[in-house]
A and B are shown apart, each in its own frame.
Chain A
Amino acid sequence: MSSNANLMSGNPRPAPVAVEEASRPASSRIRQILKQMRKSKFALPGGAIVLIFIILAILAPWIAPHDPYANDLMAMLLPPSAEHPFGTDELGRDILSRVLVGARLSLVEGLFSVSLAMLIGVPTGMISGYVGGRTDTVIMRIIDVMLAFPGVLLAIVIVSILGPSLVNAMIAVAIYTVPIFARLARGSTLSVKEEPYIEACQSAGMRHSRILLRHIFPNIASTLWVMAALRVALAILTASSLSFLGLGAQAPSPEWGAMLAAGRNYMLVAPHVVIFPGGAIVLLVLGINLFQDGLRLALDPKMAER
């Protein structure tokens, strides 16, 4: 690692990469990132997909062809047509309009719950792995306790206690995702902290918080980002499981997970009820993952050297 030499000198300084980046004017840095992103052939299409979703989500109320809440019990479960490009749902509502209006909810839901989980889980896991000893034991046993309510069960219990709503569902999904990031961050930290340059940092008297932030995190981040991008899909699907039990977004909210849950019973007769919101999730997740991949390539100094 190139930073070792500087640290060995006994004068703790931030890693050279960071210094370089920070000292450069912002505009040139963005240009640099864009240049790197262009190298990855997926980053731009990925970014474009995410951007389109964001724009659609913002504009949804104006561009939705129909009222997403308007029932028409005489036109239930119609297959896709010119009038309803995505067909209609179990109450005769226009699915295209619902998918559009729901984009806002699902984007926020997916991103919020994963970010919250990362915000809690990653530092916890890193500290646990870095400090080791009793701290590690205590933190990991707490994580074990959390994992003892496996999967969606913890989310069910939390929402049951807090009361069903979209916000509570997001909090529950976040809490249930925390152990994933905590354990992932801990595992990687355990390995990275044995690297010679970390020991060098420590012997040089660098503050632990700085070591964690500047030297360990960049080295474990890529796996975490990959996991985060994947978890967005699972967050929406988990919310869908909660909706199936009536514990997610409350009706008639067109949140995608809730739409999937409602469509579950109609899958055999009207698969379009599931396919379109499901397809929206696939596309969004595809966009986020491609963009994540490209962005990481652009931001990660090690990758950039390739």
Chain B
Amino acid sequence: MPTSRLFRRLGVLVGTGLVSASLWTAPVLAQNIKPLRYATGTDAQTLDPQFVTDIPTARVVTQIHETLIYPNSAGEMVGVLAESWDVSEDKLSWTFHLRKGIKFHDGTPFNAAAVKFTFDRIMAKETAAPRASSAAAIDSVEVKDEHTVIIKTKSPYAPLLAQLSAYNLAIISPSAGVKLNNEYSRAPAGTGPFKLGKWTPGEKLTIIRNDEYWGKKAASAAVEFTVVPEDSARVLMLMSGEADVVSNVPPIMVNRLKGAPGVKIVEQTGYRTIYVGLNLDTKPFDDLKVRQAIAHAIDTKLLLSGVMNNIGTAGGGLESTVIPGSAKIAPYPYNPELSKKLLAEAGYPNGFTIDFYITTGRYINDKQLGEAIQAQLAKVGIKVNLQSPEFGAYSAMLRQKKIPMFLLGKGSPTGDPDFTLTINVHSEGTGNYGNYRNDKVDRLLTEQRSTVEVAKRNEQLRQVLQQSYDDVPWIVLFYENQIFGERENVRGVEVLPNENVLFVNAKVE
């Protein structure tokens, strides 16, 4: 290729970047509006709900879009875009009566056709949505009339309401969806209390109040999401008043910030479980006694009070006890003597050597937790070699299900255990990285899905959690709490247990 042409092309590459920065500025933010300034660690990847796979992105998308159903502060599923619903006798078809008089940000009316469009889009193979499986239980969506939609499931599906609250299933404007297709992210049109103002990827994103919002209008005229990756920098911004709200305050900063003038700390319990996984297909973890020995050798209480500065919730079951209806199971008590005894019975009186894989910087204090566990296991004679591959490599190794022992976190986008337990606990689950297999658990997991009666289903789920706790394929360390920092004059920021943040009622006084 002639050099000059190549040059021109590289010039174009750079040039389009400059021009396009301004293309992303759809509506211009009115002058003199002082937005609520929120500093977050990570930029949104997309504004298309069907392509969201991470929390920081979900936090933006859910200001702009709404789902049919969403949990209230108590975690109960209540109608948002759906006003009411009823389920058929055979539990296969759900009729949703939609709220009337709602418009998407692009002016398109919200109706049954929009709901159908949204679900058809995520389920379509051409869309290649990374979370297409969040609609996997749905067989079809039918428009009954303008404001009534019928969702049919392939088999009775108890967690449907919770599943409909997933951010991936937020309703999008069909006209924007058709017009922009896979460029929907450029001008997202949801029904939410905010619409997109300006987005400079990697730097700043502004959402502005939707004055035609059907519900209570947003308290602030605009909210500005600034990307500030360094934890310390975000804390300094809060202290200096350069930010009104900051996400993910490191636990170690909490005590210091509590004493700082003009600053307050918001702590919210969460759905994320931090656990140590053991691979049952590798020696010596094929032996239940060894796994029990590990469970008794890890002092989860001390990890929580020491490493985590008491920021987190103790528990033993894989699903966070914060999730409504989740079983309360106590963690394995710390007992190094019992641990040594169990090791001796299993034929390892002098312990053994094992590779323990940890993440670095993905979960709060993950490396520190790994090092502390290493020291605790050393006390019962287990020599741990820590390995911290970069996350891409780590995820590939995990999915091959070959890692003997690993530190991992598990969130829950909907708060319903079905979705995550099927992935993490079922013998066929892609997230069951330790090859845990228990026929009873598999059976219960299949049964609970079609058990529409809440109490009975909760009992089945409790048994799954209890059984998997007894089999010790993993040791739960704690459930992560979320820590936000706010200026004292900030009101109404809602941090939810599912890790979302709502800004609709937020304002600076």
Please tell me whether chains A and B touch each other in their complex, using a CB distance cut-off of 8 A: yes
Q: Is the CB of A265 within 8 A of B375?
A: no
Q: A164-B389, A164-B390 are in contact. List 5 more A-B contacts (CB 8 A).
A: A76-B306, A250-B385, A251-B370, A251-B388, A270-B252
Given A71-B375, A267-B232, A164 and B306 touching (CB < 8 A)? no
Q: Is the CB of B252 within 8 A of A252?
A: no
Whether B303 sits at the interface, judged by CB under 8 Å, is yes
Q: Hey, what's the 0/1 contact readout for A72-105 against B, CB within 8 Å counting as 1?
A: 0110110000000000001110000000000000
Count contacts between A and B, CB distance < 8 Å.
86
Q: Is the CB of B360 within 8 A of A246?
A: yes
- Those of A265-279 within 8 Å (CB) of chain B: 265-270
Q: Kindly state the interface size class of chain B when it binds its partner.
A: 35 or more
Q: Is the CB of B367 within 8 A of A246?
A: yes
Q: Which residues of A contact B252 (CB under 8 A)?
A: 77, 90, 265-266, 269-270
Q: Is the CB of A251 within 8 A of B371?
A: yes
Q: Hey, what's the 0/1 contact readout for B290-303 against A, CB within 8 Å counting as 1?
A: 00000000000011
Q: Which residues of B contact A159 (CB under 8 A)?
A: 390
Q: Is the CB of A73 within 8 A of B302?
A: yes
Q: Which residues of B contact A251 (CB under 8 A)?
A: 358, 367, 370-371, 374, 386, 388
Q: Across the two chains, which residue of chain A brings its CB closest to B309?
A: A76
Whether B381 sits at the interface, judged by CB under 8 Å, is no
The chain A residues found within 8 Å of chain B, CB to CB, are 69-71, 73-74, 76-77, 90-92, 156, 159-160, 163-164, 244-247, 250-252, 262, 264-270
Whether B231 sits at the interface, judged by CB under 8 Å, is yes
Whether B500 sits at the interface, judged by CB under 8 Å, is no
Q: Is the CB of A250 within 8 A of B386?
A: yes
Q: Is the CB of B231 within 8 A of A265?
A: yes
Q: Which residues of A contact B255 (CB under 8 A)?
A: 269
Tell me, rounded to whole Å, the shortest Cβ–Cβ distance linking B359 to chain A: 7
Q: Which residues of B contact A268 (CB under 8 A)?
A: 232, 235-236, 253, 256
Q: Which residues of A contact B365 (CB under 8 A)?
A: 90
Given A251-B367, A269-B253, A160 and B375 touching (CB < 8 A)? no
CA distance A57 to B317 in the complex (A): 46
Q: Which residues of A contact B389 (CB under 8 A)?
A: 163-164, 246
CA distance A252 to B358 in the complex (A): 12
CA distance A69 to B371 in the complex (A): 9
17 sampled A-B residue pairs with Cβ under 8 A = A71-B375, A71-B376, A73-B303, A73-B307, A76-B306, A90-B252, A91-B375, A164-B388, A245-B360, A246-B389, A251-B367, A252-B386, A265-B231, A268-B236, A268-B253, A269-B252, A269-B256
Q: Which residues of A contact B375 (CB under 8 A)?
A: 69-71, 91, 252
Given A76-B306, A268-B232, A269-B253, A246 and B374 touching (CB < 8 A)? no
CA distance A163 to B386 in the complex (A): 13
Q: Is the CB of A91 within 8 A of B371?
A: yes
Which of B250, B367, B370, B393 has most A Cβ within 10 Å?
Answer: B367
- Those of B244-292 within 8 Å (CB) of chain A: 250, 252-253, 255-256
- Those of B361-389 within 8 Å (CB) of chain A: 361, 365, 367-368, 370-372, 374-376, 385-389
Q: Which residues of B contact A245 (CB under 8 A)?
A: 360-361, 390
Q: Which residues of A contact B393 (CB under 8 A)?
A: 160, 163
CA distance A69 to B376 in the complex (A): 11
Q: Across the two chains, which residue of chain A brings its CB closest to B389?
A: A164
CA distance A74 to B299 in the complex (A): 13
Which of A90, A244, A245, A267 has most B Cβ within 10 Å?
Answer: A90
Top-8 shortest CB links A-B: A73-B306, A246-B360, A246-B388, A71-B375, A251-B386, A252-B371, A251-B371, A268-B232
Tell me, rounded to whole Å, the shortest Cβ–Cβ distance linking A305 to chain B: 50
Q: Across the two chains, which residue of chain B brings its CB closest to A69?
A: B375
Tell me, rounded to whole Å, the shortest Cβ–Cβ distance linking A270 to chain B: 8
Q: Which residues of A contact B250 (CB under 8 A)?
A: 265
CA distance A275 to B297 in the complex (A): 34
Q: Which residues of B contact A247 (CB under 8 A)?
A: 388, 390
Q: Which residues of A contact B231 (CB under 8 A)?
A: 265
Q: Is the CB of B368 within 8 A of A90?
A: yes
Query: Which listed residue (B307, B367, B376, B387) contacts A164, Cβ 8 A?
Result: B387
Q: Hey, what's the 0/1 contact readout for B305-318 against A, CB within 8 Å counting as 1?
A: 11100000000000
Q: Which residues of B contact A270 (CB under 8 A)?
A: 252
- Those of B172-223 within 8 Å (CB) of chain A: none
Q: Is the CB of A246 within 8 A of B232?
A: no
Tell me, rounded to whole Å, the shortest Cβ–Cβ distance linking B300 to chain A: 12
Query: Which listed residue (B256, B307, B371, B390) contacts A160, Cβ 8 A?
Result: B390
Q: Is the CB of A246 within 8 A of B306?
A: no
Q: Is the CB of B306 within 8 A of A74?
A: yes
Q: Which residues of A contact B367 (CB under 8 A)?
A: 246, 251, 262
Tell me, rounded to whole Å, the shortest Cβ–Cβ distance linking A193 to chain B: 29
Tell me, rounded to whole Å, the shortest Cβ–Cβ distance linking A293 to chain B: 36
Tell me, rounded to whole Å, the shortest Cβ–Cβ distance linking A88 to chain B: 12
Q: Is the CB of B390 within 8 A of A71?
A: no
CA distance A164 to B255 in the complex (A): 34
Q: Across the two chains, which residue of chain B brings its CB closest to A248?
A: B388
CA distance A264 to B361 in the complex (A): 12
Q: Which residues of B contact A252 (CB under 8 A)?
A: 371, 374-375, 386
Which of A76, A160, A265 has most B Cβ within 10 Å?
Answer: A265
CA distance A157 to B365 in the complex (A): 25
Q: Which residues of A contact B370 (CB under 8 A)?
A: 251
Tell me, rounded to whole Å, the shortest Cβ–Cβ distance linking B471 to chain A: 29
